[in-house]
């Protein structure tokens, strides 16, 4: 027997060891929780701090568990190793009811506490509005969307623009593979401009397959579902240029389906909107289309894909030369 | 699956050599030798299989109910609903065949082979009547598989069920032919029991299906 | 189709001599026949599955080659889409499910003292479907337009777009292949459940059954309950793709969301179909290599079923950002997080089994230890993904890819490797080479960590999954991941070398080389065709009696002697 008989005699030092270990573990967890903010992009919406704090909390708890378990495993590997050619058995411990109850109840309480806390955050964030299935026998076409406001209002939708400060609804239209944004005044752009610190309302529409409206700096994403109009809202909180990425796989040139979100002051936003209104409609820059044209020029090799939708006609196009912060 | 804590011990067979041609799930398999130990579990396996199979229907039913109550478009243009009278007669015939197959089972249990064959044939006739009735109904419907989510759901549900009815009929025909084989040892319980269980299953599924599609028509 | 050439007039006992495994003198041909012996079928499953592991790994390495630089420069993005779709499908349906079915076949009958599975012919049929749907899936590389490129979720309406309009297309073959795999799995599940419930040795009550059998039963129950729902969804998808229906097309009143419900109702629990047997393998191996009874056997056994039940009510966590209403998100967040409790019980029980043991760091033990460590990590990221706000940010990013691979490779496949090494002597009659095994372990551990850990970071920074190209800020994480993937490719060399050379010229294995407790170790290595035949031992105590000095079965010495003499 390698380790029997050294248990009862020296309780004191081992308790001290356990306490020191737990202390170190707690310290490590705290450090990791603080570190966790650095693994994330800048916080550019009012939702971001909630997400990051929750993530830090979970990183801390998770580190505590991972380090704690690993320390015990490492301990056994250091001190309970069988010497070579030793064929003895270990301590024949078959179980311990108290321990088993403890490690059932404590994790249960921990996850329930995290869940309770998170439900509160969900209530605070409440980004998702109603969802209205479109009653249409024909597929949605650009033409049917051209008249702004021709879409049915979502039942149980968010109270749109009750506050005069609120902006929207901005129609977000996703295609294979382009983004188009239609502002309430009819301006169309393939780059999303938003005023900072104002609540923005969106109506998310997909023209073909599933897409995902995802802005990492905002920590928010929402799928666009063909056949449904989804109401959505968020509040940008930091000026800058950020990436908007398609997050739900949409086929062929999915990876290129990204554009920029420009968060600017209210005055800058109004000025941009006014300038955009005067600009003529022209086809947007569209990365998928560029690749497709190149593929056709090279003899259309590769595996099957639907061709990209024609680039949307916009007043303001995105510019691939711009660099984004996150 | 009589008792879970007391394992049913495999009785050691005289010849434990696996019979490579020994039927396993084949209904009506008679085991004169060896390997019979395995066959004792046929019903266990079959019940497990049926329980699993019923979940396909459950999934399809749930899908149907969800669509029926939420789809913005349901009945295709020009379709008022489903005619109930003929399908109702069909339903009565199919459900009563459950009783008839039970009579067949009982006859076999009492070793009356002739009576068994008669009830068995009657069950098959009733099943055939149902399938033919269904085919005629399909022919006269004004909507097709591609007529929106209603048409698709209707044909998928009734078609998938119909496939089960046809399977049941084929199994019954198979057993009937086997029962004509000379030198048959009675009672040839297992296969009949399994097929009859399958037939009850098909009937119960139909009742739910009938209620969902024909009775629950209003939105 | 008897594999043996003996004429039926011979004494049947002649056939029950331990048949030599593939080798110069062995009748290796039986592995290419419709053999109904569970042990042959088990090895057939494992061998073909390992072949597909290489195929899937090759696809992964081409993908990582593409992703080592930000632009899509190695292959066309459409090719990348096909590669990642096939990688996922191959690894799940052609490697992990089959390899675990292989272990079910090898282990369940000997562990419970049964001669074979309950339905041997059904068993062989289930196996032979596997090469069939494997070939169908591989054939999709050859059809015009290439294989399915819609991801292993095959979400409509993307999956039903059928760009070239051919009747035979990659997506159709994909659906057929997955559907046949489902049929095969259902056959297997009926077989495994019946065998475990009805064919246990005398005296082996459920609570004297090895944990592997508990977890296998729990996993196969999921198959029986989940697969039919996937089948329903796949049938509707097939109709939408090929017969013009509109189940999931908004134009006809259909809703793509219904497919997601059907798909995830099965495909979340499917992860537990793979994870549960691995929990079983960990529970088998820790007692052997720590020389201690499994800590809290009963609780560990019951926790398997808690996982089964919970796994069936969590699927909506894959749809937190798909327009799911708030109350539903909250409900499914709680159910998902609850899974941490029964899995936690198991992890703590394994660690407690190590405590004050007499630990031997052989190759299988190393894979187990690393697998558990990775699993704790993956469990933590899993709880993070369960909380809605974090999932809204990292869902559908590389964070999920990292988490998923930590489960599927760093835990499950580590468990598969551990099981292969541990039971290799038992079922081949040959010892493996320990040094090659350790080399395999070290390369695999470093490679997998390098491959999958940086993915979490890329996801936190906002890199979507399934992209063929990406913004330059994600380059560092991706270079690391690619290097890790190539290292994993290198790691298969000592593994395969070990398998092949041990099979051919490894030292002969004794019946119980690890001094382990269990019915399978009372049999010769390799066990005879019908295991204990008609002389099944009567089980008198629970498994894992290490250090307790109690016999497992009546007349234990006799069985041990018999195994040695065989
Ligand atoms: Cu899941």
pLDDT digits (tens, 9 = 90+) for C520-535: 999 998 898 888 888 8
Determine the residue among C190, C264, C328 to mutate to test chain B binding: the one whose Cβ has the most chain B Cβ atoms within 10 Å.
C190
The subunits that touch chain A, with at least 3 C-beta pairs less than 8 Å apart, are B, C
The band of A11, judged by pLDDT with boundaries at 50, 70 and 90, is: confident
Q: Is residue B13 part of a domain?
A: no
End-to-end CA distance of chain C: 27
For residue C347 the two structure tokens come to: 């992890």
Neighbours of ion ligand 1 (CB under 5 A): C 268
* Ligand 1 center to C314 CA (angstroms): 7
Fold entry, domain A132-314: Immunoglobulin-like (2.60.40)
What's the CA gap between A221 and C324, in Å, rounded? 13
The band of A268, judged by pLDDT with boundaries at 50, 70 and 90, is: very high
Q: Identify whether the C-beta of residue A320 lies closer than 8 Å to the C-beta of residue A287.
A: yes
* Ligand 1 center to C438 CA (angstroms): 33
User: A209 — contact with chain C (CB < 8 Å)?
Assistant: yes
Return the domain boundaries, chain A: 11-80+98-128, 132-314
Phi-psi category of A98—alpha, beta or left, where left has phi over 0 and alpha has psi -120 to 50? Answer: alpha
Q: Is residue B8 part of a domain?
A: no
User: A135 — contact with chain B (CB < 8 Å)?
Assistant: yes
Chain C nearest-CA residue for A220: C393
The band of A82, judged by pLDDT with boundaries at 50, 70 and 90, is: confident
Contacts of C347 in chain A (CB under 8 A): 69
CB contact under 8 A, B7 and C205: yes
Q: Which CATH architecture best describes the domain C38-565?
A: Up-down Bundle (1.20)
* Ligand 1 center to C367 CA (angstroms): 25
Determine the residue among A29, A126, A254, A307 to mutate to test chain C binding: the one whose Cβ has the most chain C Cβ atoms within 10 Å.
A254
Matching residue, tokens 């941490």: C340
Number of domains in chain B: 1
What does the pLDDT read at residue B184? 58
User: In this structure, what are the phi and psi dihedrals at residue C169, rounded to the nearest 5 degrees?
Assistant: -140, 170
pLDDT tens, per residue, chain C with 566 residues: 333 333 333 333 334 334 433 333 356 667 777 788 899 999 999 999 999 999 999 999 999 999 999 998 889 999 999 999 999 999 999 999 999 999 999 999 999 999 999 999 999 999 999 999 999 999 999 999 999 999 999 999 999 999 998 999 999 999 999 999 999 999 999 999 999 999 999 999 999 999 999 999 999 999 999 999 999 999 999 999 999 898 998 888 889 999 999 999 999 999 999 999 999 999 999 999 999 999 999 999 999 999 999 999 999 999 999 988 899 999 999 999 999 999 999 999 999 999 999 999 999 999 999 999 999 999 999 999 999 999 999 999 999 999 999 999 999 999 999 999 999 999 999 999 999 999 999 999 999 999 999 999 999 999 999 999 999 999 999 999 999 999 999 999 999 999 999 999 999 999 999 999 999 999 998 898 888 888 899 999 999 999 888 899 998 999 999 998 87
Burial of C244 (0-12, 13-18, 19+ CB in 10 A): middle
Q: Identify whether the C-beta of residue B9 lies closer than 8 Å to the C-beta of residue C114.
A: no
pLDDT digits (tens, 9 = 90+) for A104-162: 999 999 999 999 999 999 998 877 776 777 755 444 554 445 444 444 444 444 445 45
Helix (H) or strand (E) holding C336: helix C326-338
Q: Complex ipTM, two decimals?
A: 0.91
How many contacts, defined by CB atoms under 8 Å, are there between A and B?
A: 9
Give the number of residues written for chain C.
566
* Ligand 1 center to B86 CA (angstroms): 45
Tell me the C-alpha to C-alpha distance, in Å, between residue C527 and each of C16, C88, C114, C509, C533: 10, 35, 12, 12, 11
- What global pTM score does this model have? 0.90
From C191, C245, C530, residue closest to B145, measured CB to CB: C245
Which CATH number covers residue B124? 1.20.120.80
What's the CA gap between A134 and C179, in Å, rounded? 32
CB contact under 8 A, A326 and C297: no
Q: Nearest to residue C332, comparing CAs of C385, C397, C276? A: C385
* Ligand 1 center to C271 CA (angstroms): 8
CA C389 from chain center: how many Å?
31
Average pLDDT over all residues of chain A:
86
Show the domain range for B145: 95-219
User: A155 — contact with chain B (CB < 8 Å)?
Assistant: no
Give the number of residues written for chain A.
326
Chain A nearest-CA residue for B149: A137
What's the CA gap between C155 and C259, in Å, rounded? 7
User: A134 — contact with chain B (CB < 8 Å)?
Assistant: yes
C500 by DSSP, 3-state: which?
helix
Strand partners for A173: A180, A205
- Based on its alpha-carbon atoms, the radius of gyration of chain C, rounded to whole angstroms, reads 24
Give the angle A220-A226-A232 at the CA atoms, nearest 5°.
30
Q: Which of residues 248-277 of C touch A (CB under 8 A)?
A: 249-252, 254-257
For residue C552 the two structure tokens come to: 């497992």
From the CA of C510, how many Å to the nearest CA of chain B?
Answer: 26
* Ligand 1 center to C317 CA (angstroms): 6
Q: Is residue B121 part of a domain?
A: yes
Q: Identify whether the C-beta of residue A91 lies closer than 8 Å to the C-beta of residue A198.
A: no
Q: What HEC string does A182-232 produce?
A: ECCCCCEECCEEEECCCCEEEEEEECCCCEEEEEHHHCEEEEECCCEEEEE
């Amino acid at each position: 027997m390698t380790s029997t008989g050294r248990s009862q005699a020296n309780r004191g030092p081992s308790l001290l060891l356990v306490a020191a270990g737990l202390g170190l573990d707690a310290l490590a967890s705290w450090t990791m929780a603080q570190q966790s903010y650095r693994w994330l992009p800048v916080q550019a919406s009012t939702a971001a701090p909630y997400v990051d704090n929750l993530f830090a909390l979970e990183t801390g708890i998770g580190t505590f568990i991972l380090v704690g378990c690993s320390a015990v495993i490492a301990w056994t590997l250091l001190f309970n190793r069988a010497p070579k050619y030793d064929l003895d058995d270990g301590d024949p411990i078959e179980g311990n009811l108290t321990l088993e109850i403890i490690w059932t109840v404590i994790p249960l309480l921990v996850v329930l506490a995290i869940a309770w806390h998170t439900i509160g955050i969900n209530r605070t964030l409440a980004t998702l509005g109603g969802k209205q299935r479109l009653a249409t026998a024909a597929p949605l076409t650009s033409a049917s969307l051209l008249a702004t406001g021709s879409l049915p209002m979502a039942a149980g939708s968010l109270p749109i623009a009750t506050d005069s400060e609120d902006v929207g609804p901005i129609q977000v239209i996703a295609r294979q593979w382009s983004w188009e944004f239609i502002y309430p005044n009819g301006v169309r752009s393939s780059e999303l401009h938003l005023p900072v610190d104002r609540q923005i309302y969106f109506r998310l529409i997909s023209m073909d397959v599933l897409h995902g409206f995802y802005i990492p700096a905002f920590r928010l994403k929402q799928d666009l579902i063909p056949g449904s109009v989804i109401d959505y809202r968020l509040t940008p909180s930091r000026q800058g240029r950020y990436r908007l990425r398609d997050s739900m796989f949409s086929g062929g040139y999915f990876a290129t389906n990204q554009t920029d979100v420009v968060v600017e002051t209210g005055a800058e936003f109004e000025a941009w909107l006014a300038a955009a209104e005067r600009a003529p409609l022209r086809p947007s820059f569209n990365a998928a289309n560029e690749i497709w044209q190149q593929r056709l020029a090279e003899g259309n090799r590769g595996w099957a894909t639907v061709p990209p939708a024609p680039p949307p006609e916009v007043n303001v196009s995105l510019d691939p030369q711009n660099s984004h912060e996150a | 699956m009589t008792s879970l804590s007391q394992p049913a011990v495999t009785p050691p067979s005289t010849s434990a050599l696996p019979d490579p041609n020994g039927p396993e799930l084949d209904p009506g398999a008679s085991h004169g030798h060896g390997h019979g130990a395995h066959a004792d579990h046929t019903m266990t396996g079959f019940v497990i299989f049926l329980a699993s199979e019923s979940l396909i229907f459950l999934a399809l039913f749930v899908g149907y109910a969800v669509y029926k109550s939420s789809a913005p478009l349901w009945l295709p243009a020009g379709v008022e609903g489903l005619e109930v009278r003929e399908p109702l007669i069909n339903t009565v015939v199919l459900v009563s065949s459950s009783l008839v197959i039970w009579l067949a089972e009982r006859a076999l249990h009492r070793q009356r082979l002739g009576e068994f064959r008669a009830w068995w044939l009657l069950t098959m006739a009733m099943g055939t009547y149902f399938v033919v009735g269904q085919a005629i109904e399909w022919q006269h419907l004004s909507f097709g598989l591609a007529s929106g989510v209603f048409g698709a759901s209707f044909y998928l549900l009734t078609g998938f069920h119909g496939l089960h009815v046809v399977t049941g009929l084929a199994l019954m025909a198979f057993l009937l032919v086997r029962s004509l084989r000379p030198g048959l040892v009675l009672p040839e319980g297992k296969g009949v029991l399994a097929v009859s269980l399958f037939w009850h299953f098909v009937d119960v599924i139909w009742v739910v299906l009938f209620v969902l599609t024909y009775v629950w028509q209003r939105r | 189709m008897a594999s043996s050439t003996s004429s039926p007039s011979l004494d049947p006992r002649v056939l029950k001599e331990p048949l030599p495994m593939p080798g110069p003198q062995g009748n290796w041909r039986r592995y290419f026949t419709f053999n109904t012996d569970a042990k042959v079928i088990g090895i057939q499953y494992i061998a073909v599955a390992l072949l597909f592991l290489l195929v899937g790994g090759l696809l992964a390495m081409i993908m990582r080659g593409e992703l080592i630089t930000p632009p899509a420069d190695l292959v066309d993005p459409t090719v990348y889409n096909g590669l990642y779709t096939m990688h996922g499908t191959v690894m799940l349906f052609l490697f992990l499910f089959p390899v675990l079915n292989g272990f079910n076949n090898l282990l369940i009958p000997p562990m419970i003292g049964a001669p074979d599975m309950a339905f041997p012919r059904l068993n062989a049929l289930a196996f032979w479907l596997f090469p069939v749907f494997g070939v169908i899936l591989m054939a999709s590389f050859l059809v015009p337009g290439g294989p399915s490129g819609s991801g292993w979720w095959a979400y409509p309406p993307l999956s039903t777009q059928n760009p070239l309009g051919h009747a035979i297309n990659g997506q159709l073959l994909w659906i057929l292949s997955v559907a046949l795999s489902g049929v095969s799995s259902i056959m297997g599940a009926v077989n495994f459940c019946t065998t475990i419930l009805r064919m246990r040795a005398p005296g082996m009550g459920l609570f004297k059954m090895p944990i592997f059998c508990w977890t296998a039963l729990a996993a196969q129950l999921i198959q029986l309950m989940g697969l039919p729902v996937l089948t329903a969804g796949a049938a509707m998808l097939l109709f939408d793709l090929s017969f013009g229906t509109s189940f999931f097309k908004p134009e006809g009143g259909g809703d793509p969301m219904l497919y997601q419900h059907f798909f995830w109702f099965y495909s979340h629990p499917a992860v537990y179909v793979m994870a549960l047997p691995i929990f079983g393998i960990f529970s088998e191996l820790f007692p052997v290599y720590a020389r201690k009874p499994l800590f809290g056997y009963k609780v560990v056994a019951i926790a398997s079923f808690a996982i089964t039940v919970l796994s069936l009510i969590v699927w909506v966590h894959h749809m937190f950002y798909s327009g799911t209403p708030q109350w539903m998100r909250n409900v499914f967040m709680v159910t998902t997080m609850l899974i941490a409790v029964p899995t936690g019980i198991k992890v703590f029980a394994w660690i407690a089994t190590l405590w004050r043991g007499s630990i031997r760091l052989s190759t299988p033990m190393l894979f187990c230890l690393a697998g558990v460590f990775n699993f704790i990590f993956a469990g933590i990221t899993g709880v993070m993904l369960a909380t809605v706000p974090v999932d809204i940010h990292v869902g559908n990013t590389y964070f999920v890819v990292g988490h998923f691979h930590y489960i599927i490779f760093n835990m499950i496949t580590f468990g598969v490797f551990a099981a292969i090494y541990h039971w290799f002597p038992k079922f081949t009659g040959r010892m493996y080479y320990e040094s090659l095994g350790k080399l395999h372990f070290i390369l695999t551990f470093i490679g997998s960590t390098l491959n999958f850990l940086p993915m979490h970071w890329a996801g936190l920074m906002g890199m979507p999954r399934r992209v063929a190209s990406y913004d330059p800020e994600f380059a560092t994480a991706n270079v690391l991941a690619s290097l890790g993937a190539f290292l994993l490719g290198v790691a298969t060399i000592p593994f395969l070398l070990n398998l092949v050379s041990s099979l051919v010229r490894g030292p002969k294995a004794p019946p119980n080389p690890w001094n382990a407790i269990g019915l399978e170790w009372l049999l010769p290595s390799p066990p005879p065709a019908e295991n204990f035949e008609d002389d099944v031992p009567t089980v008198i105590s629970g498994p894992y009696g290490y250090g307790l000095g109690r016999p497992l079965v009546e007349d234990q010495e006799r069985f041990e002697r018999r195994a040695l003499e065989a």
